[in-house]
Structure 1
Amino acid sequence: MRFEGKVYRPWIEANSVLIQTTLGCSINTCTFCNMFRDKKFQIRELDDILKDIEDSRRHYRHVESIFLVDGNVMAVRTEFLLTILNKITQIFPEIENISLYAGFNDLRRKSVADLKALKAAGLTMVYTGLESGDPLVLEHIQKGMTADHAREGMARAKAAGIRVLASFIFGLGGKERSRAHIEATTALVNELEPEAIAPMVLALQPGTELEQEVARGEFTLATPLQVLEEEKYLLENLGEFDCYYWGDHGNNIAPMRGSLQQWRGQFLRRIEHEIATNPITKENIIQTFAW
């Protein structure tokens, strides 16, 4: 099997077989991210992808989950993706989950018929970077996405029956827009009602525009207390829709995960305990680690 450059997958997919379908990210302008700055976005040769799937069968006797990398695989044309999905289900008849990275813009650019075809071919979940619901934050990070784009993309995914995990970032509004960021993000998540969410704490990535803004004093990082208060607000104000809470990213102050509706009370008590007792709340800068 062949991989080019650095390869990223969600921590949730730690036990999945990885098949590199694209190189890099079709956006690659986000000011906080350096994941794919070493690559120019391109689609791998189909024959190479199919051969990697066949080679994987020789390495693994039983595969239940496959994740397609790199960034924004959903940007690939539907017929191309269908060929890959059909190959996977042919080679791995035991497969239960096939997932990939997809921007909300990628979802809204597909027709519902296309997305239903992908679902029928085996696609079960897409991982999307929501990042924030605050229009000023979204503009600042140069995501190339608006809240309306997210609404449209989510509506199409739901119509097709494809589950969505939406990730977003505590502290992305910095010290000044902490409250506005979490209020707008929570409100948008309540509209979207994704099947899963993965909130994580902002980490400055080396060489990014955001790191340079911090160095120039143009962006002030949120404090650990603000980050905890953002998570508290989120847990207090999320709706009653069914959702799995993947709040156990390595940079989170109080890592925890589980069914939101089942564990919300315990999650809230954990955050309130951290706010009341954790010495980190007295610090001005949160210490996080690059991806």
Structure 2
Amino acid sequence: MEYEGQICRAPMERASFMLPVVVGCAYNRCKFCDLFKHLKYRELPLEQIEEELKRVRDIGGNPRRVFLGDGSAFTLSMEKLLAVLDLIHQYFPGCESVNMDATVSSILNKTPKELKTLYENGVRHLYIGIESGLDDVLRFMDKDHGLLEAYEAASQLNRAGLIFDAHIMTGVAGKGRGIENAKALAEFFNRTRPKHVVNFSMFLHRKLALYREIQAGNFAPADELENLKEERYLIEHLEAQDGIIYDGFHDFLEFRVRGRLPEDREKMLGKLDGVIETNVGQGVYAYIG
């Protein structure tokens, strides 16, 4: 199948077979995101999805993990999701896990019974753009949820047996608020206990709605040094009773920190301390494009 748009998935899914079931993002309003702005959201027909599954099966494919694309596959109706899952298990009998991106609102739009049914049909990991632990930041960035809704969605996933994986962005709260945001995120994750936390430290593309907010004086971006300190605080204060895999990207600095908490905490903090010391006084901003 020819893939439309940009492939976007968590690093934990790099070995999964990626099966497009929608094009673009049903929400597509977050001020910091331009991944899907050029695409008109639509669902792919079941016939096209089945054709791709058959193609892969016929060349010997039988993946253990399948990732459903594009940006918000979980917005599909229960009827459509169950039909897709049935096809996956029909063509890939060795499949053990079907994973996808989700939004808080798409989770809350499904009942607890429906979430449990999806688990029973092979859905395991849902990747959620939590982004920030601060309500005013979520509102400003036009996220589809507030903090209370995020707590409720995580609770419902945990009760259904589904694995909650979180995406965040250091820098999303703006200049001078990095530690405040890290404190709020640490509290949120210590209560909701995700299995993975992935930090895509915020880039500021000049085509973004957020860039216009910067030009208008409504948002002051943090520099990369503050972003690194925010990340350090978060890693230091994650309790990780059940173990958390953390992966933090700073592509603008060509820096990445990852490991399993709590056992890799000191190693990760030491790596951050080194790059923080190197960047003191640099004033580097993650602008691109």
TM-score computed with the length of structure 2 as normaliser: 0.92
The amino acid that maps onto 2:259 is: G
The amino acid that maps onto 1:281 is: V
1:245-289 CA-partner distances (Å, limit 9, x unpaired): 12246457641222111111211122122223x1x2322233465
The equivalences for 1:9-24 within 5 A come to 9-24=9-24
Aligned residues: CA RMSD: 1.9
- CA-CA distance at 1:120 after TM superposition: 1.3
Structure 1 unaligned residues grouped into runs of 5+:
none
- Cα distance in 1 for residues equivalent to 2:112 and 2:10: 26
Contact 2:127-2:164 at 8 Å conserved across structures:
yes
* Other structure's SS at 1:226 match: helix
Tell me the residue number matched to 1:25: 25
Tell me the residue number matched to 1:114: 114
Pair 1:71–1:180, CA change in 2 (3 A)? same
The equivalences for 1:201-240 within 5 A come to 201-240=201-240
Deviates more, 1:243-252 or 1:14-23: 243-252
- Cα distance in 2 for residues equivalent to 1:191 and 1:253: 32
Tell me the residue number matched to 2:276: 275
Structure 2 unaligned residues grouped into runs of 5+:
none
The equivalences for 1:79-158 within 5 A come to 79-158=79-158
Percent of paired sites with the same residue: 27
Pair 1:249–1:58, CA change in 2 (3 A)? farther
Contact 1:243-1:260 at 8 Å conserved across structures:
yes
How many equivalent residue pairs? 288
Tell me the residue number matched to 2:267: 266
Deviates more, 1:136-145 or 1:10-19: 10-19
- CA-CA distance at 1:47 after TM superposition: 1.6
Deviates more, 1:176-185 or 1:108-117: 176-185
* Other structure's SS at 1:255 match: strand
The equivalences for 1:127-206 within 5 A come to 127-206=127-206
TM-score computed with the length of structure 1 as normaliser: 0.92
Tell me the residue number matched to 1:284: 283
The equivalences for 1:53-92 within 5 A come to 53-92=53-92
1:167-190 CA-partner distances (Å, limit 9, x unpaired): 100011111322322222222122
Pair 1:15–1:226, CA change in 2 (3 A)? same
- CA-CA distance at 1:3 after TM superposition: 2.8
- CA-CA distance at 1:144 after TM superposition: 2.2
- Cα distance in 1 for residues equivalent to 2:78 and 2:42: 15
1:122-150 CA-partner distances (Å, limit 9, x unpaired): 11111110000111111110102101111
- CA-CA distance at 1:97 after TM superposition: 2.6
